[in-house]
Amino acid sequence: NAGVTQTPKFQVLKTGQSMTLQCAQDMNHEYMSWYRQDPGMGLRLIHYSVGAGITDQGEVPNGYNVSRSTTEDFPLRLLSAAPSQTSVYFCASSSVTGNTIYFGEGSWLTVV
């Protein structure tokens, strides 16, 4: 029972590099989202999707890009990494009712 799977677990990037954080869920959930967690700031929403082909911005979208070509996958792209994007990133998914929202194990990103 995989649930929400994120890769990679750890990544170090140089300023200006780009990369993609992968997220996959096997629960056939319509809703998927990306949060970042920073000390003293809690978890904040970056982008979300309510279904394949539909995405929208959250609270802190600048510097990130998303797409949703399948129900299962929701990758998060960092276009040109900056030190301010050093954080822990969590992917989440739920059914459209949103009664239970499941999180992945996280991706630790350091930008130097």
Partner 1 sequence: EDQVTQSPEALRLQEGESSSLNCSYTVSGLRGLFWYRQDPGKGPEFLFTLYSAGEEKEKERLKATLTKKESFLHITAPKPEDSATYLCAVQEPQKLVFGQGTRLTINP
Between 59 and 80, name the residue whose CB sits nearer to partner 1.
59
CA distance 40 to 45: 15
Interface pick for partner 1 out of 25, 33, 85, 93 (rule CB under 8 A): 33
Nearest distance from residue 101's CB to partner 1, in Å? Answer: 7
Asked whether position 103 contacts partner 1 by CB under 8 A, the answer is yes
**Taking CB under 8 A as the criterion, which residues in 61-90 touch partner 1?**
90
The first and second tokens of residue 9, run together, are 């677990």
Nearest distance from residue 58's CB to partner 1, in Å? Answer: 6
Q: What residues contact residue 32 under an 8 Å CB cut-off, 6+ apart?
A: 23, 25, 48, 49, 68, 74, 91, 92, 93
Q: Decide if 32 contacts 76 (C-beta within 8 A).
A: no
Residues at the interface with partner 1 (CB under 8 A): 4, 31, 33, 40, 42-45, 48, 50, 56, 58-59, 90, 98-106
